[in-house]
Amino acid sequence: MVKNNIDKSDMREVIVSSANQLAKGLDLAKNIKVGGSFKNVIICGIGGSALPANIINSLVLPSVPVYIHRDYNLPKTANEDSLIICISYSGNTEETVSALQESIDKNITSIAIATGGKIEKMCEEHNIALIKIPSGIQPRSATGYLFSALSVILANCGVINDISDNISKTAEELLEINSALEKEGKALAKKLAKKIPIVYASNNLESVAKIWKIKFNENSKIPAFYNYFPELNHNEMVGFTQTKKANIFHVLIIKDKDDHPRIIKRMELMSSLLKKKRVRVDFIETKDGSLMFRLFSSLLLGDWTSYYLAINNKIDPTPVAMVEEFKSLMVK
C-alpha cells in the first residue's frame, strides 16, 4: 500500500521487503548449470543489472578471472573458453542484447538473467539457460534477486564456492535490522538537504560506494559522486584546492573494521582537510557481522538514505524519467 502521495509506486515497501529477494534468487537459480571448463567469466550488464557483479567481486575469490562488461557486443577477452552471463532486468537492454547476440553468433556458452523481453525470446530460440526473476520493480531495486541468482550460477559452474548458507543467514539478519537502518537513513537524509553527496570507501568496498552514488542519482534524482582510498588521495582531493563553493558537497566515508590501518588514517586525515574547506563529512561505520552482512546492511542504509532524501525533496523515488526519455530518443 502506498504510504504517501509522493511515493506513488511505494518504493518504501520494496526496500522493506528487499531482503526476501535473496532467498528467492537462490531458489530460482538452483537448477541452472552448464558444463564446460571455463577460463574466464564475462558478466554483461548495464546500470542496476550490473550491480550484483560488483558485489560478487567484493565478496569472493573466483577460480578464474571474472570480468564485468558494460558495453555493446563482447570484449576482446571473450572466446570459446568463456562463460558469458547476460543480465538485463527488463530483458530489453540494447547493450546486453547485443552481447548475447554476439555470444550466439560465436557459439560461446551463455546464461541469462532477466524478467522476460528480447532476452527471454533469444534464450528460447537458441536453447540458452534463463533465470527468470520477478518483474514490477526498478532494476536497481532487484539487486537481491540478481545477486543470489548470479552467485548460484557461478557456484554451480565451479567458479566460486557455494555461499548460499551465508546468503540465507544475511537475509534473516537484514530483516532484523531493517527498521533501525530506516531510522538511521532518515536522519542522514536530513543532513544531506541541498547538498551534493560524495561517497568514499576503501578499495575493498568500492562497489558499496558506487551503489550509494547510483541510488542518490536514481532515487533522489540528484548529482552524486564516488571514489575510493587510497586512489583519491593521489588525485581527486586536489580538486578541492580552489573550490570556493566546496560547502555544496557532503562527503560520506564508509568505514569498515577490516580496512587497512593506513587506509583508516587516510580517511581521518582526509576528513580533517575537507572540514578546513568547510565540507561536511560524516563517517558511516559498517555493522558488526560477516563481510556479506556488513556489505548488504550498508547498501540497505544507502537505500533508506536516498529514499528519504527524495521524499524530503517531494520527489517520487521510483521513476527515472530522464532514462526513459533518453531510451525513446535512441530508437528514433
C-alpha cell at 250: 557532503
The CATH label, of 3.40.50.300, 1.20.1290.10, 3.40.50.1100, 3.40.50.10490, for the domain at 11-162 is 3.40.50.10490
Q: What mean pLDDT do residues 205-214 have?
A: 95
Residue 218 catalytic? yes
Using CB atoms within 10 A of its CB, is residue 194 exposed (0-12), middle (13-18) or buried (19+)? exposed
Number of Cβ atoms within 10 Å of the Cβ of 329: 8
Number of Cβ atoms within 10 Å of the Cβ of 127: 6
DSSP conformation class of 298? H
- 3-class SS at 63? coil
CATH homologous superfamily of 176-312 equals Glucose-6-phosphate isomerase like protein; domain 1 (3.40.50.10490)
C-alpha cell at 124: 528460447
Q: What pLDDT, in 10s, does the model give residues 213-258?
A: 999 999 999 999 999 999 999 999 999 988 778 889 999 999 999 9
- 3-class SS at 264? helix
Say yes or no to pLDDT of 2 above 60: no
Out of 76, 194, 234, 245, which one is annotated catalytic? 234
CA contacts within 13 A on the Cβ side of 229 = 22
Report CA dihedral (176, 136, 7, 2) to the nearest 10 degrees. -70
Out of 218, 221, 250, 287, which one is annotated catalytic? 218
Work out the angle between the directed axes of helices 20-29 and 164-191 (0-180°, nearest 10): 150
Domains 11-162 and 176-312 share a fold: yes
Number of Cβ atoms within 10 Å of the Cβ of 321: 9
**Per-residue confidence band for 1, with pLDDT thresholds at 50, 70 and 90:** very low
The helix (H) or strand (E) run that includes residue 325 is helix 321-330
Domain boundaries, the chain: 11-162, 176-312
Single-letter code of the amino acid located at 146: L
Q: What mean pLDDT do residues 135-161 have?
A: 95
- Give CA–CA dist 96/64, Å, rounded: 22
Q: What pLDDT, in 10s, does the model give residues 91-141?
A: 999 999 999 999 999 999 999 999 999 999 999 999 999 999 999 999 999
Q: What pLDDT, in 10s, does the model give residues 277-319?
A: 999 999 999 999 999 999 999 999 999 999 999 999 999 999 9
Q: pTM for the whole thing?
A: 0.94
Residue-level pLDDT at 3? 56
Helices within 128-242 (DSSP H only): 143-156, 164-191, 206-215
Task: Report in angstroms the alpha-carbon separations of 5 from 9, 231, 314.
Answer: 9, 43, 9
Q: What pLDDT, in 10s, does the model give residues 57-79?
A: 889 989 999 999 999 999 999 99
Contact 120, 132 (CB under 8 A): yes
Task: Report in angstroms the alpha-carbon separations of 274 from 225, 253, 267, 284.
Answer: 16, 12, 11, 16
Higher-scoring residue by pLDDT: 68, 332 = 68
Residue 332 catalytic? no
Q: What pLDDT, in 10s, does the model give residues 3-61?
A: 578 999 999 999 999 999 999 999 999 998 888 889 999 999 998 888 899 899 889 98
Residue 260 catalytic? no
C-alpha cell at 326: 533518453
